[in-house]
Structure 1
Amino acid sequence: MKITDKLYVAMDYKLSLDSGEEVDSSPPGEPLGFIAGASQIIPGLERELMGMSAGESSRVTVEPEDAYGPVIKDMFQEIPRGQFPDDVKVEPGMTFHAQGPHGQVVLTVTELKDNDVVIVDLNHPLAGQQLFFDVNIVEVREPSAEELLKAQSVQQQQQEADGCNCGSTDQSECGPGCSCG
């Protein structure tokens, strides 16, 4: 069976950067499972997996615009040093997790300014990066009812985070990331 929209896919993967550094992988014996076409993985990877079958392996290159996007300069912000824990020596390269309006965000410290201002990058840590996935398709099958419900729940959360108000009778309430209008 070949990967098409609405099928369950399980795959082993290793993600590396142009430098060769491996930055993520599926744990041994625990393939990543998702519903194809349900926006559960980055678009560039999903597109390249379409048509593959269980047992196939491939090296997939995904450009930044099909992954986590380019680095956006407006995503660099100045934050008062007092917003960080007092007992932590804040240094460039450190990462912190914070709650944003659409869920948890990663702040990467890029610079300290006059000991009282911290410049952070709110871009995804892999923004602007070309990504290399070594994938092995483990399974392709019809999804269970539970897997479909989980995928629909994730999609709805993503649409709400993008400003979508799907289900509203007034489609003027749909946000820029909405596909219902």
Structure 2
Amino acid sequence: MQTVKQGDTVRVHYHGRLDNGNTFDSSEGRAPLEFTVGAGMVIKGFDNGVIDMKIGDKRTLHIPVDDAYGPKNQEMVLDFPKSNIPSDMKPEIGMDLQMSNNEGQVFQVKVVGINEEFITLDANHPLAGEPLTFDIELVEIV
């Protein structure tokens, strides 16, 4: 039976959990996730975790921070002047916002602090700094 190798396109069902057991994502009720192994379409630990699987195999992957979304980067936490916020916007801690940089790239940020002059925004990936666990099932090698 064929096993997964670098360059194969695969379809997998998955259930992703944090260390506290909370689910952060799942393919349940949706089509399986399709990606090409080694193409950088998924996090490194997930990519490497399907190698040598056969169709129908199930596996639990424990992915350390460095093979997931990496550690939190303090350089991506910034103070943004309240004077630059539209007057009709009322930021709250935990609120997700979109910003754009000088090149016009749009990215997600989370409000993590508010004081009289600034709101503090975190542009790290929401799962940065988290080890992840995935239960996966190989559905197909395309």
1:107 aligns with 2:97: no
Residues 127-180 of structure 1: CA deviation (Å, up to 9, x unaligned): 000101111110013xxxxxxxxxxxxxxxxxxxxxxxxxxxxxxxxxxxxxxx
Distance 1:61 1:13 in 2: 13
Greater RCO, CA 8 A, separation 6+: 2
- 1:22 to partner: Cα distance: 0.7
TM-score (norm 2): 0.90
The aligned residue for residue 154 of structure 1 is: none
User: What's 1:26 paired with?
Assistant: 27
2:35 partner amino acid: F
Distance of 1:104 and 1:6 partners within structure 2: 30
State the partner residue of 2:89. Answer: 88
State how far apart, in whole Å, the 2-side matches of 1:102 and 1:63 are. Answer: 32
Secondary structure at 1:129's aligned position in 2?
coil
What code does the residue aligned with 2:121 have? V
- Could you tell me which runs of 5 or more consecutive residues in structure 2 were left unpaired when the two chains were aligned: none
Identity of aligned residues (%): 31
Higher mean C-alpha displacement, 46-55 vs 89-98: 89-98
Aligned partner of 2:16: which letter?
L
Higher strand share: 2
Q: 1:91 to 1:12 in 2, by over 3 A?
A: same
Question: Which amino acid letter does the alignment assign opposite residue 108 of structure 2?
Answer: V
1:29 to partner: Cα distance: 4.2
| Root-mean-square deviation over aligned CA pairs | 1.6
Match of 1:15 in 2: 16
Shift, 1:79, TM fit: 0.6
The residue that corresponds to 2:3 in the other structure is 2
Deviations 1:99-134 (A, max 9, x none): 3448432111111021x3101111111000010111
* Cα distance between partner residues in 2 of 1:84 and 1:19: 35
Output one character per residue of 1:12-70: Cα deviation in whole Å (capped at 9) or x when no partner. 11111111111111252400001111111100111121001110111111111111110
Q: What residue number does 2:120 align with?
A: 119
The answer (yes or no) to whether the contact 2:110–2:121 under 8 Å persists in 1 is yes
Structure 1 counterpart SS, 2:5: coil
Alignment partners' CA distance in 2, 1:42 and 1:53: 20
Counterpart amino acid of residue 120 in structure 2: I
State TM-score, norm by structure 1.
0.72
22-31 or 34-43, larger mean C-alpha shift: 22-31
Match of 2:66 in 1: 65
